[in-house]
């Protein structure tokens, strides 16, 4: 094991050089270091337009900090284009491609994963492969991190750089609900006993669809089918247990399921207003941040389902026609540095888990990651339970359409 790892490590610079030579500058076959210094030179003075969801002031502040850092260190200016939905950026790139704008596009970097990535990749809207050229890419130990090579089951193929890990966690006020339901069955029983005190965000909002997948992963007749394209399996029979479950659950939901919160934020607000007793988020830090800002009671704590919860990785991608590719790469490389990843994991600033492999870091760096205080609401990493991988992205639309067919019509 150790030996193979060594060998991969030795072979890596060669692979890297080959990748760089073929993708970034076809005519030249410089060493990776020389190639990277060319990128650094070209990036100087560029303004990178980074399209990233802008709904959380703490994430926005983190991005602003990163902007100051790359401006100081590399002379790269960063503009954070605050999206309400990542698909807006996808639509923009699509409009540009429709209009024949094959270079000088308006977007240089997108925070992306899952369906959006799958759609962009399928339609040839992405630049790359480019991530092997980043010096910090090695720190993720790509050879031994298969989960970073797949985005919702779609091969990443160097088209996007892993940036953050996310895990679905539930949270509730421990003072109100000391023993929360830790499985979908228990949740149903609890909802029957406490009508109107639970809900989930409206699919196709990201977190709403995630809840459907979480229940499906627990109850599906064949879990294997979920990791293959939906067309290859029997959608009706695989998902039947999910719909049976929802049919039973809906009458006991908030507003008898006649209305749903629009998104994750709206659900947290219901929790804050005391309208519901259980909520969930795609990050351990959401509840902690809520406590610190006074939005949620101080006794709110995270918990997970016994059978595990869904987790995924989110990435950074460069559109095929980006005007400031070099600047985007310099920024991405900085965001992958131990320094930037450590700050990102700090719940004080954001609280999003790192994608770096701690084995690849210096002992001091690794220690800083291991000993970080994750905040009052968080569960320690060793009690976070099993991580369930995201189903193949084709299931997302199929689930959303079927949900819509069953529950959107009155």
Partner 1 sequence: MLRAAPYLVAAILAGPVAAGALGALVPSFGFLPALGHDAFGLAVWRDLLSWPGIGGSVLLSFASGIVTAGLSLALAMLFLAVFFETRAFIWLRKAIAPLLAVPHAAAAFALAFLIAPSGFLARLLSPWATGWQRPPDLLIVQDELGLSLMAGLVMKEVPFLLLVALAPLAQIHAVERMRMARALGYGRIAAWFKTVVPALYPLLRLPIYAVIAYSSANIDVALILGPVSPPPLAVQVLRWSNDPELDYRLIAAAGAVLQFGVTAAAIALWVAAERILITLGRGWIESGNRTLAEQGLGLLGRVLFPALLLSAGLGILALGLSAFARVWRFPDPFPSRWTLEHWQSVGDTASGPLGATIWIALAATGLSLALVLAMLENERRTGRRAGRALELVFYLPLLVPQIGFLFGLVLLAELIGIAPGGGLVAAGHVIFVLPYVYLTLSESYRRLDPAWSRLARTLGHSESRVFWKVTLPMVFTPTLAAFAVGLAVSIGQYLVTRLLGAGRLDTVTTEAIALAAGGDRRLIGAWALTQAVLPVLGFALALAAPRLLWRHRRGMLGAVQ
Q: Using CB under 8 A, which residues numbered 241 to 260 contact partner 1? A: 254-256, 258-260
Residues written for the chain:
410
Q: Which residues contact 335 (CB under 8 A, 6 or more apart)?
A: 66, 161, 163, 316, 341, 344
DSSP state of 105: B
Binder of partner 1 out of 92, 165, 167, 301 (CB under 8 A): 92
Give the closest residue to 59 by CA, choosing from 345, 367, 378.
Answer: 345
98, two tokens: 């429709």
Using CB under 8 A, count the residues that bind partner 1.
72
Where does residue 23 rank: exposed (0-12), middle (13-18), buried (19+ CB within 10 A)?
A: middle
Q: Which is nearer to partner 1, 289 or 384 (CB)?
A: 289
Span near partner 1 by CB under 8 A; candidates 15-23, 28-36, 79-87, 222-230: 79-87
Per-residue x/- mask for partner 1, residues 111 to 130, rule CB under 8 A?
A: ---xxx-xx---x-------
Q: Give yes or no for residue 262 binding partner 1 (CB under 8 A).
A: yes
Q: Give yes or no for residue 79 binding partner 1 (CB under 8 A).
A: yes
Binder of partner 1 out of 21, 94, 240, 387 (CB under 8 A): 94
340, two tokens: 């930037």
Q: Which of residues 279-308 bind partner 1 (CB under 8 A)?
A: 293-295, 297
Q: Which of residues 385-404 bind partner 1 (CB under 8 A)?
A: 396-397, 404
R_g (Cα) of the chain, nearest Å:
22
**Distance from C-alpha of 334 to C-alpha of 74, rounded to nearest angstrom:** 10
**Kindly report the CA angle at 120 between 49 and 117, in degrees rounded to 5?**
85
Q: Which is nearer to partner 1, 23 or 272 (CB)?
A: 272
Q: Give yes or no for residue 352 binding partner 1 (CB under 8 A).
A: no
> Of all helices (H) and strands (E), which one includes residue 151?
strand 150-151
* Torsion angle defined by CA atoms of residues 128, 129, 130 and 132, in that order, rounded to the nearest 10 degrees: 180
> Of all helices (H) and strands (E), which one includes residue 205?
none
Torsion 7-13-17-19 (CA) sign = positive
Q: Are 312 and 214 in contact (CB under 8 A)?
A: no
Span near partner 1 by CB under 8 A; candidates 7-15, 86-94, 141-149, 380-388: 86-94
Per-residue x/- mask for partner 1, residues 185 to 224, rule CB under 8 A?
A: ----------xx-----x-x--------------------
Determine how β-strand 109-112 pairs with β-strand 47-53: parallel
Q: Which is nearer to partner 1, 369 or 407 (CB)?
A: 407
Span near partner 1 by CB under 8 A; candidates 218-226, 239-247, 265-273, 347-355: 265-273
**Distance from C-alpha of 257 to C-alpha of 195, rounded to nearest angstrom:** 11
Q: Which is nearer to partner 1, 25 or 257 (CB)?
A: 257
CB of 99 to partner 1, least distance (A): 3
Q: Give yes or no for residue 55 binding partner 1 (CB under 8 A).
A: yes
Binder of partner 1 out of 19, 63, 78, 89 (CB under 8 A): 89
Q: Give yes or no for residue 264 binding partner 1 (CB under 8 A).
A: yes
Q: Give yes or no for residue 86 binding partner 1 (CB under 8 A).
A: yes
101, two tokens: 């704008």
């Amino acid at each position: 094991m150790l030996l193979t790892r060594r060998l991969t490590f030795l072979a890596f610079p060669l692979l890297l050089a080959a990748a760089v030579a073929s993708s970034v500058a076809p005519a030249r076959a410089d060493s990776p270091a020389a190639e990277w210094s060319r990128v650094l030179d070209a990036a100087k003075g560029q303004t990178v337009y980074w399209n990233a969801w802008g709904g959380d002031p703490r994430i926005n502040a983190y991005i602003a900090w990163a902007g100051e850092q790359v401006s100081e260190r590399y002379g790269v200016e960063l503009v954070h284009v605050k999206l309400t939905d990542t698909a807006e950026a996808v639509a923009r790139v699509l409009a540009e491609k429709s209009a024949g704008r094959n270079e000088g596009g308006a977007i240089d970097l997108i925070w992306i994963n899952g369906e959006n990535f799958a759609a962009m990749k399928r339609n040839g809207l992405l630049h790359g492969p480019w991530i092997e050229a980043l010096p910090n890419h090695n720190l993720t130990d790509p050879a031994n991190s298969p989960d970073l090579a797949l985005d919702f089951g779609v091969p990443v193929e160097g088209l996007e750089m892993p940036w953050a890990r996310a895990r679905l966690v539930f949270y509730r006020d421990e003072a109100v609900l000391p023993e929360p339901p830790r499985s979908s069955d228990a949740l149903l029983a609890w909802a029957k006993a406490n009508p109107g005190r639970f809900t989930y965000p409206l699919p196709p909002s990201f977190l709403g669809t995630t809840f459907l997948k979480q229940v499906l992963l627990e109850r599906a007749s064949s879990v294997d089918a979920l990791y293959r394209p939906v067309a290859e399996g029997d959608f009706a029979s695989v998902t039947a247990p999910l719909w049976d479950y929802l049919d039973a659950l809906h009458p006991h939901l908030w507003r008898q399921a006649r209305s749903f919160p629009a998104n994750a934020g709206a659900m947290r607000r219901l929790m804050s207003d005391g309208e519901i007793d259980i909520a969930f988020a795609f990050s351990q830090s959401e509840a902690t941040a809520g406590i610190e800002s006074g939005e949620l009671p101080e006794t709110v704590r995270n918990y997970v389902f016994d059978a595990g919860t869904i987790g995924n990785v989110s990435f950074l991608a460069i559109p095929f026609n980006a005007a400031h590719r070099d600047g985007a790469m310099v920024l991405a490389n900085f965001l992958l540095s131990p320094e930037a990843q450590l700050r990102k994991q700090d719940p004080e600033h954001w609280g999003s888990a790192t994608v770096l492999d701690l084995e690849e870091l210096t002992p001091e760096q690794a220690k800083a990651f291991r000993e970080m205080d994750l905040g009052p609401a968080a569960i320690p990493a060793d009690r976070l339970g099993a991580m369930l991988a995201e189903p193949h992205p084709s299931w997302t639309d199929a689930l959303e359409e079927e949900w819509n067919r069953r529950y959107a019509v009155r």
